Amino acid sequence: RKEVEQDPGPFNVPEGATVAFNCTYSNSASQSFFWYRQDCRKEPKLLMSVYSSGNEDGRFTAQLNRASQYISLLIRDSKLSDSATYLCVVITDKLIFGTGTRLQVFP
């Protein structure tokens, strides 16, 4: 089993839709979690950290479920500009990137 797993997608959603991605991790000792965004042929950039109690940043909500060992990213009111690949990052004694979930928002 991979240490960090993501559904590669693509998730094709219309503008204005709500979409959610999950990222599962295998190491229960994982300490910190993040979501990065990567546009096509560009570098990854930090989108948001994931806190134990869940956190929101505008249209984006990140949540952590330690019991089931996954993190999630919810995007409300999707915009065309949200089209990108979303990478989850899990930190144990090392930093591990997921392979990413591709989101395509269409008009």
- Closest to other proteins by CB, 8 vs 14, is 8
- For tokens 């190491």, name the residue: 27
Beta carbon nearer to other proteins, 11 or 86:
86
User: What does the binding site for other proteins look like in residue numbers (CB under 8 A)?
Assistant: 32, 34, 41-46, 87, 89, 91, 94-95, 97-100
Contact assessment for residue 61 and residue 71, using Cβ atoms and an 8 Å cutoff? no
Please give the Cα distance from 36 to 56 (Å, whole number).
15
By beta-carbon proximity to other proteins, the closer residue of 3 and 17 is 3
Phi, psi angles (nearest 5°) of residue 80:
-55, -35
CB 51 to other proteins: min, Å: 13
